[in-house]
């Protein structure tokens, strides 16, 4: 990525170093994470699915949810009617909890991973997590499937979710077999 040219000098350099070293939204308060939830890639992905999953009538642990995300994190579902250009709906983890939480708790919702591909470069991880969704663990068939694209960061002490960007499966857009299974 190319940046805007800036005049050189110690003051500009100091501001630039501070700006680049301070995560967006660093002032946001975060609940403390359970160390087991953020110790590995597997653990943080499992924690994300675990928080949103549960039977009808069960409250979700939104403090745990927020503890998984880096300040400034985004969730981005792709939406729009079939045959129309896709649209990204960018929301925060708090907006997701506010908008989706009541439906998850009222109707029951279980999302499970059915396949994963992972790419890692140092502290940067991108993974495709194919999923299926059910209202109850007893449902014989999922009512939805898709792919969650996770971007993760390891800051040297723990894993963070930076972005979850997802596309639900449609008849004209089936999940490729290469993303199902491990």
112 belongs to a structural domain = yes
Q: Tens of pLDDT along 32-46?
A: 999 999 999 999 999
Q: Tens of pLDDT along 3-26?
A: 444 444 444 333 333 334 444 444
pTM (2 d.p.)? 0.83
Provide the residue range defining the domain that includes 38. Answer: 10-179
58 belongs to a structural domain = yes
157 belongs to a structural domain = yes
Tokens of residue 139, six digits: 């449902």
Distances (CA, A) of 155 to 47, 69, 123, 165, 170: 18, 12, 7, 21, 36
Tokens of residue 31, six digits: 């609940």
What would you measure as the largest C-alpha separation in the chain, in angstroms? 65
**Which pLDDT does position 182 carry in this prediction?**
62
**Which pLDDT does position 150 carry in this prediction?**
98
Q: How far apart are CA 102 and CA 42, in angstroms?
A: 27
**Cβ count near 113 (within 10 Å):** 17
Q: Using the 8-state DSSP alphabet, how is residue 8 labeled?
A: -
4 belongs to a structural domain = no
Q: How many domains does the chain have?
A: 1
Find all residues with CB under 8 Å of 119, minimum gap 6, and list them. 125, 126, 127
């Amino acid at each position: 990525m190319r940046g805007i040219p800036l005049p050189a000098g110690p003051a500009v350099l100091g501001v630039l170093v501070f700006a680049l070293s301070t995560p967006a939204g660093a002032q946001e308060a975060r609940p403390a994470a359970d160390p087991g939830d953020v110790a590995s890639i597997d653990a943080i992905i499992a924690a994300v699915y675990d928080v949103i999953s549960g039977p009808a009538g069960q409250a979700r642990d939104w403090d745990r949810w927020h503890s998984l995300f880096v300040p400034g994190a985004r969730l981005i579902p792709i939406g729009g009617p079939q045959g129309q250009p896709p649209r990204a709906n960018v929301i925060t983890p708090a907006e997701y909890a506010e908008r989706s939480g009541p439906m998850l708790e009222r109707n029951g919702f279980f999302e499970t991973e059915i396949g994963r591909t992972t790419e890692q470069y140092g502290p940067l991880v991108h993974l495709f997590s194919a999923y299926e969704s059910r209202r109850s663990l007893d449902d014989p068939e999922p009512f939805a499937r898709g792919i969650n694209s996770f971007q993760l960061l390891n800051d040297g002490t723990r894993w963070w979710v930076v972005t979850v960007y997802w596309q639900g499966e449609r008849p004209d857009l089936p999940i490729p077999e290469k993303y199902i299974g491990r």
